[in-house]
Amino acid sequence: MDKKLQLRDPGMTPTSELLEQTLGGSFAAYEMLQEALPGLEIEQEWQWYAPHKAWFAKGQHFWTTARGTRKEKNLYWLHVFEGSFDVAVWFLEKNRIEILRADLGEETKQIIREAKTFGKMATFPVVIEVADIKSLADIYTLIDYKKRLEK
């Protein structure tokens, strides 16, 4: 079954009520992710992406350098489907082997092994479907790893 991207109305910014209605049983996992973000030093914001005609959530880490410059790093993109959501974390190809050494489940490692590389910067996405809370541990590991890369 093909997953169909949700949140397609540009005039309707995602709310907890809309997300609960769309995600159904996976809303509990979404809430757990949201509760964990402050402790992971991540801010998430919803943005309308015209090319995809859908709302995506972007997770970012902000920090200040020793010289006082405010920096940011995009850590993940969250896409909502009926009954589940995906978290996509993009990495440089040169980090693939190192990521595979992380404490991740075998299913996630298989996703990493099979991920195709894109573009001149040679990046690849690790896309994890979240239908329940079981996937969150690997997502936290990937996000933390991405946060520490080339800061």
Q: What are the tens digits of pLDDT across the range 39-51?
A: 999 999 999 999 9
Residue 19 scores a pLDDT above 80: yes
Q: Which sequence spans correspond to the domains of the chain? A: 16-89+127-148
Looking at residue 2, its pLDDT comes to: 76
Tell me the average pLDDT of the chain: 94
CA distances from 45 to 18, 56, 117 (A): 15, 8, 26
CA distances from 62 to 34, 126, 151 (A): 17, 22, 10
Residue 76 scores a pLDDT above 60: yes
102-111 mean pLDDT: 97
Looking at residue 149, its pLDDT comes to: 85
